[in-house]
């Protein structure tokens, strides 16, 4: 199948070319992100492959359809950037990679937690300058701490178990669909308010939906324990960034580690080190010593990239052959 691969980075090209030896698709690698301006690049391609920050609103999907596109393959799990109702109306099938390596994200989230809590990011910067002083680097043991896991699906379950069974944390969880096996491992399900009241660290692993948007807002921060540490590897809009900045300034929040950011589309995945970044909110976040930001990197392991490429190319082969699409996203239910 002829596939236009948008937003290609060197690591995408490598993993897709390696996996494609088995499938033989005609892949055209494009650097630009998909949006209304770049949609014409897909003209004549029956399939496009996109990532988390490509924009697939109704206008873009209409442009794709007009150009002959019938399948959109998301090389990621999240799909909040796609208007599924519009895709359905236009007869465009949307497939995704529901699970490629939940371990990659779970391990990264715990890595952020440890780095932030033990000031590893600051120690690294210091020792590069031959500054071996330890002042300001006092951390806390993870063992025995109370950690909240929001969303206990594929990723959250791994995080919860590692924290409970590996580190010996007290783990509270919030999820509308509790997992009994996790409860049997000593993870305690509570409601949102009880979780926010009790935890010292909260890590977000739920999808971005109308219900979870701004899960951490000014009210959540106000009711939290002083010094709450926040880790977000899911989606930027799960937190109200302005409220988080206020929480850091008032010291109510003890630390924040973010792999995702609400306005990341125009920033992440690019080298902007020679630019004047115009986003004052992100720039303010980066000034805090107790904030650690990474650029949507949690998924980035060679195992995950190989699995993403394999699943995506297999879905496209199924689409080409007219076989059922196992990873097709259903349109949202009306009402």
**Helix (H/G/I), strand (E/B), else coil: 55:** coil
Residue 104 tokens, joined: 């990659």
| Residues within window 8-67 making contact with ligand NAI, judged by CB under 6 A | none
Angle at the Cα of 168 (from 108 to 170), degrees rounded to 5?
Answer: 90
Catalytic residue (choose from 25, 119, 262, 264): 264
> Could you tell me which stretch among 30-38, 110-118, 159-167, 208-216 binds ligand NAI (CB under 6 A)?
208-216
Work out whether strand 2-5 and strand 146-150 pair parallel, antiparallel, or are unpaired.
Answer: unpaired
220 interacts with ligand NAI by CB under 6 A: no
103 catalytic per annotation: no
264 catalytic per annotation: yes
Q: How far is the CB of 163 from ligand NAI (least distance, A)?
A: 15
Q: How far is residue 220's CA from residue 238's CA, in Å, rounded to a whole number?
A: 12
Phi and psi for 186 in degrees, rounded to 5?
A: 95, 10
Catalytic residue (choose from 235, 262, 310, 327): 235
Closer Cβ to ligand NAI, 151 or 255, answer by number? 151
> Could you tell me which stretch among 65-73, 124-132, 201-209, 321-329 binds ligand NAI (CB under 6 A)?
201-209
Q: How far is residue 143's CA from residue 170's CA, in Å, rounded to a whole number?
A: 8
Q: What angle, 0 to 180 degrees and rounded to 10, lies between the N-to-C axes of helices 302-321 and 10-20? A: 50
Q: Which are the contacts of 288, defined by CB distance < 8 A and separation ≥ 6? A: 248, 256
- Residues in contact with ligand NAI, shown as a per-residue x/- string from 159 to 178 under the rule CB under 6 A: ---------------xxxx-
| Residues within window 246-275 making contact with ligand NAI, judged by CB under 6 A | 259-260
205 catalytic per annotation: no
Q: Would you tell me which residues interact with ligand NAI (CB under 6 A)?
A: 77-78, 99, 102, 105, 150-156, 174-177, 205-209, 211-212, 233-235, 259-260, 296, 298-299
């Amino acid at each position: 199948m002829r596939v236009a691969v948008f937003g290609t980075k060197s690591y995408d090209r490598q993993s897709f070319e390696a996996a494609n030896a088995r499938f033989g698709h005609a892949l055209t690698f494009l650097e630009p992100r998909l949006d209304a301006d770049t949609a014409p690049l897909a003209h004549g391609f029956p399939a496009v492959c996109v990532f988390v920050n490509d924009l697939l609103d109704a206008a873009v999907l209409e442009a794709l359809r007009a150009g002959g596109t019938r399948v959109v393959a998301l090389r990621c799990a999240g799909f909040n950037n796609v208007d599924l109702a519009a895709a359905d109306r236009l007869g465009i099938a949307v497939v995704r990679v529901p699970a490629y390596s939940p371990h990659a994200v779970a391990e990264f989230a715990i890595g952020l937690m440890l780095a932030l809590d033990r000031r590893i990011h600051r120690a690294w910067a210091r020792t590069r300058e031959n500054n071996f002083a330890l002042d300001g680097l006092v951390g806390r043991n993870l063992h025995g701490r109370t950690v909240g896991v929001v969303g206990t699906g594929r990723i959250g379950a791994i995080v919860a178990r590692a924290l409970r069974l590996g580190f010996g944390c007290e783990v509270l969880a919030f999820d509308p669909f509790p997992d009994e096996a996790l409860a049997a491992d000593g993870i305690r399900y509570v409601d949102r308010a009880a979780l926010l009241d009790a935890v010292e660290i909260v890590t977000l692993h739920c999808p971005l939906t109308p219900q979870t948007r701004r899960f951490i807002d000014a009210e959540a921060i106000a009711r939290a324990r002083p010094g709450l540490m926040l880790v977000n590897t899911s989606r930027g809009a799960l937190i109200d960034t302005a409220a988080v900045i206020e929480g850091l300034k008032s010291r109510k929040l003890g630390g924040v580690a973010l792999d995702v950011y609400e306005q990341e589309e125009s920033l992440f995945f690019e080298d902007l080190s020679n630019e004047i970044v115009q986003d004052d909110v992100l720039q303010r976040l980066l000034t805090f010593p107790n904030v650690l930001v990474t650029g949507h990197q949690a998924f980035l392991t060679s195992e995950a990239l190989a699995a993403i490429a394999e699943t995506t190319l297999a879905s496209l082969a199924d689409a080409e052959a007219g076989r059922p699409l196992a990873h097709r996203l259903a349109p949202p239910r009306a009402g």
